[in-house]
Structure 1
Amino acid sequence: MLALPDGFQPEGIAIGDKPYAYFGSRADGDIYRVSLRTGRGDVISQGPGTPSLGMKIDDHGRLFVAGGSGGDARVIDTRTGKVLRSYTLQPVPSFINDVTLTGGAAWFTDSTNPVLFKVRNGKATSVPLTGDIAYSTGVNANGIVPTPDGKALIVVQSNTGKLFRVTYDGKATLIDLGTENVVNGDGLWLRGRTLYVVQNRLNVITKVELNRSGTAGTVVSRTGNPNFDVPTTIAEYGKRFYLPNARFTTPATPETTYTAVRVPIP
C-alpha cells in the first residue's frame, strides 16, 4: 500500500508514463505526488480550497482535474505543479466528478446536472445529456472513458448502477448488461474491450467485457481486496492497478489515515 497524508481525503488518481501517482484531495484540492518505487511523496500543487476529484494526464504531462463542488476544472503541470489553466464549467450547485481524454479533448461529468463538458483548444463547452439517462436523487454521472472503438463515451450513473454509451453530441443509450448492474460505480478504466468499474462502497472492481462499439457488455467478475476501504478511482502502471481509499464511511478528521492500494489486474 501507499501511505498518503493524514487528513488528505483522497478521491482521484492519475498515473502517466513515469512511476509517479498523483492524488487529488476532496478536502481542499491539493495534488499529492507519490513515487511508486519509494512510496515517498509531497504536495506539488496547493488546491483552491475546493475538491480535486477525477484526474487524467495527457501526453504532454498536463494533469486535467475535475473540481467537484467548485464547478470547475484545472490543468496542472505535473513537473512544476503550476496551474496552467482554470475553467469555470458550471455555476454551483454542480459536482464536476470525473474526466477522460479522447479525440484531442477533455470530457468532464457533472453528477448534479445532466450535462457533459468538453474542453478543447483552451475552450470549454457544455454538451447536454439526452436519451436514456434520467437524473435522480444522489450521485448521477460519474466515471467516464471512451468506448473501445473510440467513437463515443461510456458513463456510469452511480445511483442507478447503469452504464451508458454517450455520443459526442450527448445522446445517451443504455448499455445492455443483461440482469447485472454496477451500482455505486465510480472510477472507470478501459483496457482494450475490457471495462473495469470501481464499485466504491461495495469495495470491488467489476470486470465487464464489452463489444467493440460499447453497446453491450457482460459482467465476468467482481474482485475485492482486504485492504479496500471505499476505493473510488483507478489508474494503471506496470500491470498493476492503483486505487485510493476514500474511506467515505469513516468520519474525516485531520488525523484520519489514508492509503492507496496496489492490486494485480483482474
Structure 2
Amino acid sequence: MSRLLTASAVAVLSLALVSGAQPAGAVSAPPDGTFPARIELPDGFQPEGIAIGPGPTAWFGSRADGDIYELSLRTGEGRVISQGPGTPSLGLKSDRDDRLYVAGGTSGTARVVDSETGAVLRDIPLAEAPTATPTFVNDVVLTKDAAWFTDSNRPQLYRVARGADGEPAATATTLPLTGEWVQSSGLSANGISTTPTGRALLVVNSTSGLLYRVDPATGVATEVDLGGASLTSGDGMLRHGRTLYVVRNRLNEIAVLRLSRSGLTGRLVRTIDSGDLASTTSFDVPTTVARFGSRLYLPNARFTTPATPSTDYWVTKVPARAGE
C-alpha cells in the first residue's frame, strides 16, 4: 500500500509520535517495526466486512452507508476509496485482479468495486423482488468460477459466475438450500467458506449454531459433524488449509476447527478469545476475519454500543495459532 505512505506521511507520523498527537486513521507503530495490534477506523464507520491482500492492505465495508475504507496494516494509515450507495457493505472478498466483491445486506445486491480506483464495476441484483421475507445478503466467498453470497433471511445462496479471467457476470442465479438445512427464526445463513477440497461450500447458521456442507450444484445441505461443538453467533469464516476459523461475534471469540478433507466432519481444537490478545487491544463484537501472514485481523462492529458519529471502531490483530 505504498501509494498511501508518502514521504510526507512518514514525516507527519514521526512528528505525531514525538508530540503525542496522532493523525486520523493512523496508529503508533511499535519501535521494533512490528505491525500494530490495534488499528483505528474512522469514528462512526460501523465496520462489518474485511478483505486483505495481496500485500498488507486491508479493506473494510461500512454497514452504515456502504463506504469502502482502505488501510495499511503496517501503518494504520487509510482513506475511503469508494463512497457507498447509502445501503450496507457487509461481507467482502478481494481477488488477484484488484476487484472487491461486496455483500449488500438489505439492498439485496452485490457490488464489485475496483480497489485501485474505487469505481463500481458491477452492481448485481441478487434477490428477487421484495416478499414478506426481506433479504439480507450477508457474506461472500470466491471460488475458481464463481462468487457465492449468503442470505441470512432466506434459505438460499446466490451465485455470480466468474469467467476464466475472473471477470464477474452481470447477473446472478439463486440456489435454494435443501437437504438437512433448517431455516431459523433469527439470522440463519451467515458466514460462508469452501471445504478443503474446494468441491463444496461451508455455511454456518448463526442462530442454530450448526455448520453445513452445501453441494454447489444442487443446494443439498448436510450437517457437518462437529462432535457436539456449537457455533451459535457464528458470523464470518475463514478457511486456511484444513483449519476453519469461525468468528462468534457476541461471544467475542473465534472457534478454531480442524476439518476432514471432505468437510463433512470437524472438531473444535481451540478457542481464541480476549486472553490471547495484546494488552493494547480488545474484542468488542468482532464480525469476521481475514489473515495476513501468521496473524488474523478482525473488525469490531460493537453491536451493543450505540452507533453515533463519534463512536470509535477498530481492528484487532491476533496470532492465528493463539490459544495453543
In which range does the TM-score fall when normalised by the shorter chain?
over 0.9
Counterpart among 228, 244, 250 of residue 179 in structure 1: 228
Q: Deviations over 1:98-156 (max 9, x none)?
A: 00001320000000011100001413111111011111211100000110011100000
Q: Is 1:165 matched up with 2:210? A: no
Q: Deviations over 1:217-246 (max 9, x none)?
A: 001111102600000010011211000000
Q: Is 1:133 matched up with 2:178? A: no
Instruction: Give the structure 1 partner of residue 88 of structure 2.
Output: 51
More helix by share: 2
TM-score (norm 1): 0.98
Q: Structure 2 CA distance, aligned partners of 1:42 and 1:222?
A: 33
Q: Secondary structure at the match of 1:201?
A: helix
Give the letter aligned to residue 197 of structure 1.
Answer: V
Instruction: Give the structure 2 partner of residue 116 of structure 1.
Output: 157
Give the letter aligned to residue 238 of structure 2.
Answer: W
Give the letter aligned to residue 271 of structure 2.
Answer: R
Give the letter aligned to residue 228 of structure 1.
Answer: F
Q: Structure 2 CA distance, aligned partners of 1:220 and 1:38?
A: 33
Instruction: Give the structure 2 partner of residue 258 of structure 1.
Output: 313
Instruction: Give the structure 2 partner of residue 248 of structure 1.
Output: 303
Instruction: Give the structure 2 partner of residue 62 of structure 1.
Output: 99
Q: Deviations over 1:21-53 (max 9, x none)?
A: 100000000000011111010100000100000
Give ranges in structure 2 of 5+ residues lacking alignment: 1-37, 163-168
Identity of aligned residues (%): 59
Give the letter aligned to residue 9 of structure 1.
Answer: Q
Give the letter aligned to residue 102 of structure 1.
Answer: T
Is this contact kept in 2: 1:16–1:61, CA < 8 A?
Answer: no
Q: Structure 2 CA distance, aligned partners of 1:59 and 1:170?
A: 28
The runs of 4+ residues in structure 1 deviating greater than 6 Å are none
Q: Structure 1 CA distance, aligned partners of 2:63 and 2:88?
A: 4
Give me the CA root mean square deviation: 0.9
Q: Is 1:202 matched up with 2:257? A: no
Larger-gyration structure (1/2): 2
Q: Secondary structure at the match of 2:181?
A: coil
Counterpart among 138, 141, 144 of residue 100 in structure 1: 141
Give the letter aligned to residue 81 of structure 2.
Answer: I
Counterpart among 17, 20, 33 of residue 70 in structure 2: 33
Q: Structure 2 CA distance, aligned partners of 1:207 and 1:83?
A: 35
Compare 250-259 and 225-234 and name the one that shifted more: 225-234
Counterpart among 53, 56, 60 of residue 19 in structure 1: 56
Q: Is 1:151 matched up with 2:192? A: no
Q: Secondary structure at the match of 1:6?
A: coil
Q: Structure 2 CA distance, aligned partners of 1:52 and 1:18?
A: 22
Q: Secondary structure at the match of 1:247?
A: coil
Give the letter aligned to residue 153 of structure 1.
Answer: L
Give the letter aligned to residue 192 of structure 1.
Answer: G
Q: Structure 2 CA distance, aligned partners of 1:103 and 1:128?
A: 21
Compare 107-116 and 129-138 and name the one that shifted more: 129-138
**Cα distance, 1:62 vs. partner?**
0.4
Give the total of aligned pairs: 266
Q: Secondary structure at the match of 2:250?
A: helix
Give the letter aligned to residue 113 of structure 1.
Answer: R
Counterpart among 286, 289, 301 of residue 231 in structure 1: 286
Q: Structure 1 CA distance, aligned partners of 2:145 and 2:289?
A: 22
Q: Deviations over 1:175-234 (max 9, x none)?
A: 001211110000101011111100000101111001000000001111102600000010
Is this contact kept in 2: 1:162–1:183, CA < 8 A?
Answer: yes
Higher relative contact order (CA 8 A, sep 6+): 1
Q: Secondary structure at the match of 2:139?
A: strand
